[in-house]
A and B are shown apart, each in its own frame.
Chain A
Amino acid sequence: MLRPTALFLGSCLLAQADEPLPNPNLLPTTKAIYEIIRKKADLEAKDMQPYADKVPLAENAEISLVPIPGGEFVIGSPEKEEKRDADEGPQHRVKVEPFWMAKVETTWNFYRPFMENGKNRNKDGTLNRDSNLTTTEAPEVKENETLVDTVTQPTPPYVPMHFSMGDGYSKEYPAVGVTQHAANQFCQWLSAQTGHFYRLPTEAEWEYACRAGTTTAYSWGDDASKMGDYAWFAENSEFQYQKVGTKKPNPWGLHDMHGNVAELVLDQYLANAYEAYKDGATHPFSYPVNRYPTAVRGGHWDADADQLRSANRIGTTPDWKVRDPQIPKSIWYFTDAPFLGFRVVRPLKTPTLEEMHRIWNTSPGASE
């Protein structure tokens, strides 16, 4: 049964206090990570700098983040924009709070150690200790285990998830075939190691960062013929994804916001989402209470030019798991979405424990 999605506004990302907490069995893990993050005081907006965060479980590789100052922008596209879809309006002026955003899409360099975590896990990603993969088990840290191990993580894929594109799991290629649930758990895994709170961007944050102050169809203007300088799409990708960060960045230094892989964001996809927005609202956001559809932005290597527009929106669908032979299908993999990846953000202001838990545990728990 589909649950109604409410729109949340205001500096507090979530106003869902009356809803029961999702996945309460996993709260001890969230709490332990929250305590680590809380030890560091939040910075002031004026002190935000680009930085690189070291990820111990990715052989200390560094993930690069770009500061995105808070501000106002007009979300959506004007009715006159060519090939525009109705779900891109009505336009509204909305406010976004400061955050850092990953300079490039999440690569296999970081995602592979999370995906191939080497532990025997239940289908829901908790550690399996009872010879039954269909149960869920408590997030206890036992001998030779760490807090990071208790973050729920993928079971092994049946086939390589790079779909034989590029050069295997080469470190510079984007992770693909990732469900929103898996991306959320990756953010938690990353946070547990770095002591910084990471999550998916909201749709508003994503579009604000993509536009980078522009109001045109693309962040380089309206001229689709320049696309080859900035983006990988159907006409130049040779039927596969490409190394991240090899095309020109947008005005705020972000690469591949247009094209290469489409990017998961945090919101439920609602075709009429913007109708509920109000001019001047801060941080509009549709919390995903249902597994499908969640919003996806930016277009990809197999998409035509108009799908790469800053305002273009699509939603996830169960069809992206059609090749998964099992029932229930894996909660971790979109076996038929070699075009779908994500990038992480870190909000300047650290949220409360409860907000953190709700953000990392969207949708109806561990379900298909």
Chain B
Amino acid sequence: MNPITNRRLFLRSAAATTLIAGFPNILLAQGSNAKLKIGLVGCGGRGTGAADQALSADPNVVLWAMADAFGGQISNSLNNLSKKFSGKIDVPEARQFTGLDAYQKLLDSGVDVVLLASPPGFRPLHLRAAIEAGKHVFAEKPMAVDVAGVKSVMESAKLAKQKNLTLQHGFCWRFSPNTRAGYGKVLSGELGRVVSVYGTYMGGVPKPSTAVADRDPKLGDVEWQVRNWMAHEWLSGGPLLEQAIHTVDKIAWAMNDVAPIAARGCGGRTQRSDDGNVWDHYEVTFEYPNEVLCHIHQRQMGGCFSEVKDRVHCEKGIMEAPDRVLTKDISGKINWAYRGDNTNMYQVCHNEWFAAIRKGEPLNTGEYMANSTMLAILGREAAHSGQRVTWAELWNATQDLAPDSLQMGDKHPTATVPVPGRYKLI
């Protein structure tokens, strides 16, 4: 079983789009120009950002419906978007949907294109429903938090292909012109074969939970957890999935998206004091063919050394990204650095997506997005279990962190924090 084999193809086509990335709107003159109705599922800061990019990517689009677990999120999001896109917003109260089933109502409201930006635990469910309903989809990263979720995403991707629907991913660095230039130097072979990768995502806690003492006693377990979703594995997948997956995905990029053999790792939960169950640090090594080892060091803790950097070590030099994209010779001397204007990578992502929709091109990154998500799960499960976990073993697992049927008021005690040597991947 090797679901990753087709990724080379995607990569080649992604590289080929680099040249037009800055001005794909030219392409809109060709193909269909019908008005596209956009639905936003998950109206937090990132979802609102994705809506901004979608509304900017194409002249003939309208924000048509919004869905979120909580009504307050929708009104805030709508206020912010209305300031900039007054002529492209048409979301009357009747098309503002709240609750955990809001996505389904949105899909039934006549939208053509949906943006999925809820906490990632919901993504496989939302994606499947959107593809079944015949919508074009943008899915924010990560695309799942467990093995069952990734398999579902893979099935949805196949279904999208059959239905001729586009499916775009939110691994934003793959759209960043400077990062593309750096990884282009690796993949072109200019620096020789990749020898190893060392990627870091060491920072603070991006969104600390509300203090447990401040929990409104009226909130049921599920609502409390969704409101503090980053702290809960069934919702965020933990920091290696939720945040450092950017670095995991860039390891895959450097390795030309070939399948890994296995992963081993360690980590734990030492600084977090909320009532969730995610770890706050991981150190994982991915084994690749030809004795190539790729390492990722993830941490979300205050008061510690911090760095977000990919170091791709090659035979003839080193490529560093993504803040300052540069190459060094093997003695460490900088011999090339990207100097150019800042380009909005999130916008490039949506520009390329809408260009594909308009041209009727079969853009479908579903298999790729499922594989990069699975790669992060491989690392997480190796660390949680304390075992060397192979890629094949992982695909044979059935791990499912939460049922799809949860309701806001349900009792849902937090699962225990995994202890290596005792925790088992099932």
The interface of chain A, by Cβ under 8 A from chain B, is 116, 118, 120, 128-132, 134, 156-160, 162-165, 168-169, 238-240, 302, 319, 322-328, 336, 338
Q: Which residues of B contact A327 (CB under 8 A)?
A: 45, 48-49, 51-52, 77, 80-81
Instruction: Convert B37-69 into 0s and 1s, putting 1 for each residue whose CB lies closer than 8 angstroms to a CB of A.
Output: 000000011101101100000000000000000
Given contacts A116-B303, A169-B306, contact A326 B344 (CB under 8 A): no
Other than the given A134-B72, A156-B207, A327-B52, 19 more pairs (CB < 8 A) read A120-B208, A120-B210, A129-B214, A132-B72, A156-B208, A157-B203, A157-B206, A159-B203, A160-B202, A160-B204, A163-B323, A163-B324, A165-B324, A168-B305, A169-B306, A323-B345, A326-B44, A328-B48, A338-B323
Q: Are A128 and B210 neighbours in the complex by a CB distance under 8 Å?
A: yes
* Contact yes or no, B345 A328, CB < 8 A: no
- State A238–B324 Cα separation when bound (angstroms): 11
Using A160-B308, A325-B49 as known contacts, say yes or no to A116 and B342 having CB atoms under 8 A apart: no
Question: Across the two chains, which residue of chain B brings its CB closest to A234?
Answer: B339
CB distance from A280 to the nearest CB of B (A): 42
Q: Which residues of A contact B216 (CB under 8 A)?
A: 131
Residues in A with CB closer than 8 Å to B337 are 239
Within 8 A of A (CB), among B208-265: 208-211, 214-216, 227-228, 243
Binary contact track B339-376/A, C-beta < 8 Å → 1, others 0: 10011111000000000000000000000000000000
Is B319 part of the contact surface with A, judged by Cβ < 8 Å? no
Question: Given A134-B72, A239-B334, A319-B342, A326–B204 Cβ distance below 8 Å?
Answer: no
**Complex interface: chain B residues within 8 A of A326 (CB):** 44-46, 48-49
- With both beta carbons as reference points, the residue of chain A lying nearest to B211 in the complex is identified as A120
CA distance A324 to B205 in the complex (A): 16
Which 5 residue pairs of A and B lie closest in terms of their CB atoms, listed nearest first?
A326-B45, A160-B306, A327-B48, A163-B323, A131-B210
Residues of chain A within 8 A of B214, CB atoms compared: 129-131
- Which residues in A have their C-beta under 8 angstroms from that of B215? 131
**B110 CB–A CB distance under 8 Å:** no
Bound form: Cα–Cα A168–B323 in Å: 13
The winner among B172, B209, B243, B342 for most chain A CB atoms within 10 A is: B342
CB contacts (< 8 Å) of B307 on chain A: these are 160, 164, 168
Give 26 pairs: A residue, B residue, CB < 8 Å, sorted on A. A116-B204, A118-B302, A120-B210, A130-B214, A131-B215, A131-B228, A132-B72, A157-B204, A158-B206, A159-B203, A160-B307, A160-B308, A162-B306, A164-B309, A165-B323, A240-B324, A319-B342, A322-B344, A323-B344, A325-B46, A325-B49, A325-B172, A326-B45, A327-B51, A327-B77, A328-B80
Q: Evaluate contact between A156 and B206: CB separation under 8 angstroms.
A: yes
| Interface status of B76 (Cβ within 8 A of chain A) | yes
Contact of B334 among A157, A169, A238, A338 (CB under 8 A): A238
Identity of the chain B residue whose Cβ is nearest the Cβ of A168 in the assembled complex: B305
A165 to B306, CA, bound (A): 11
B338: nearest chain-A partner, CB-CB: A239
A-side contacts of B207, CB under 8 Å: 156
How far apart sit A271 and B342, CA to CA, in the bound complex (Å)?
A: 23
Collect the chain B residues with CB atoms within 8 Å of residue A156's CB.
Answer: 204-208
Contacts of A120 in B (CB 8 A): 208-211
Docked-complex contact B46 and A134, CB < 8 angstroms: no
- From residue A355, how far is it (CB to closest CB) to chain B in Å? 31
CB-based A-B contact count at 8 angstroms: 92
Instruction: Count chain B CB atoms within 10 A of each CB in A120, A157, A324, A336 and give the residue with the most.
Output: A120
When distances are taken between beta carbons in the complex, the residues of chain A under 8 Å from B46 are 325-326
Whether B278 is near chain A, meaning CB under 8 Å from some CB there, is no
A325 with B202: CB separation less than 8 A: no
**Interchain CB contact under 8 A, B308 and A159:** yes
B326 within 8 Å of A by Cβ? yes
The distance in angstroms between the C-alpha atoms of A341 and B204, with both chains bound, is 21
Contact A134 B48 (CB under 8 A): no
B residues in contact with A169, CB < 8 Å: 305-306
Q: Could you tell me the distance between the alpha carbons of A327 and B214 in the complex, rounded to whole angstroms?
A: 26
Most-contacted residue by chain A among B45, B209, B243, B334 (CB, 10 A): B45
Contact A323–B306 (Cβ < 8 Å) = no
Contact B324 A239 (CB under 8 A): yes
Complex: chain B residue closest to A238, CB-CB: B334
Question: Which chain A residue shows the least CB distance to B300?
Answer: A156
Given that A159-B203, A160-B203, A327-B52 are contacting pairs, would A168 and B345 also be in contact in the complex, using a CB cutoff of 8 Å? no
Q: Which of A165, A238, A240, A328 has the most CB of B within 10 A?
A: A328
Nearest residue, chain A, Cβ from B243: A158
Q: Determine the distance from Cα of A299 to Cα of B48 in the docked complex, in whole angstroms.
A: 34
Known A-B contacts A159-B308, A326-B48; A131 and B227 likewise in contact (beta carbons under 8 Å): yes
Q: Is the CB of A325 within 8 A of B203?
A: no
CA distance A131 to B70 in the complex (A): 12
**B51 cross-chain contacts in A, Cβ below 8 A:** 327
B306 touches A168 (CB 8 A): yes
State the CA gap A322–B347 with chains docked (Å).
Answer: 10
How many angstroms between the C-alpha atoms of A159 and B306 in the bound complex? 9
Question: Bound complex: CA of A116 vs CA of B307, how far in Å?
Answer: 15
| A128–B343 CA distance with the chains assembled, in angstroms | 34
Contacts of B324 in A (CB 8 A): 163-165, 239-240
Within 8 A of A (CB), among B301-329: 302-303, 305-309, 323-324, 326
